[in-house]
Amino acid sequence: MTTIAVLGNGRVGGGLAAALTQAGHEVTVADRSPGSAAEASRAARIVVNATPGAGALERLAALREDLRGKILVDVSNATVDGPDGLPADLLYPGSSLAEQLQEALPDTHVVKTLNTMLYTVMTAPAALTQPPTAFLSGQDAQAKQTVRELLVDLGWHEEWITDLGGIRTARATEAAILFVPHVIRANGFAPFAISIAR
């Protein structure tokens, strides 16, 4: 059993918290308020950033001391939304939210994952008709192994998980968010994920 703090209590955070609790972990859910997030982060071994990407850097940088030595699992995408509320552009072109977080939190092990799919797939990958892919990006091999084990607890098969390498590779998976509005407009709000076919 691992102590996990999920920052963000919306659809993404709520879904992840419920699934991780069901898998046997001790999970605390914090809202976006600094006090709630700091308290939850301090008590956890792993912290999941499920807050909106646009304000995540400032929000998490303020928790630097509380996140020291922790694994920060970043599942969000930092985007500029269009008039319809769907992602229209990247907030950090030529970089990524994960890279910005790692730079702001040098004593924290940032691991990017689960950001290339509709939120429902994060906790129910087997519900798709074809195997999806969950990507891992991060500097620390042990932190990525720990997150890999969490993904397995969420129903991801080992062969569906691909370690892309260092945190810089997160800019590739974060750019995949630009597919999302077009896929939703073409097919509706149905579960989907980016998948590598071999």
pLDDT in tens, 79-135: 999 998 889 999 999 999 999 999 999 999 999 999 999 999 999 999 999 999 999
In order of 30, 90, 180, 192, the CA distances from 79 in angstroms are 22, 4, 11, 19
* pLDDT > 90? residue 147: yes
Least confident of 10-24, 36-50, 159-173, 177-191: 177-191
Mean pLDDT of the chain: 95
Cα distance between residue 38 and residue 7, in whole Å: 10
Residues in contact with 106: Cβ distance below 8 Å, sequence separation at least 6, in sequence order: none
pLDDT the model gives residue 27: 97
SS3 of residue 79 by DSSP: strand
- Domains belonging to the chain, first-starting first, are 3-187 (3.40.50.720)
pTM given for the model: 0.96
Helix H or strand E segment including 81? strand 79-81
pLDDT the model gives residue 33: 77
pLDDT the model gives residue 158: 97
Instruction: Please list the alpha-helical segments (H only) found in 44-196.
Output: 53-61, 97-104, 119-122, 141-153, 170-175, 180-187
Mean pLDDT of 37-41: 94
Cα distance between residue 11 and residue 120, in whole Å: 9
pLDDT the model gives residue 53: 93
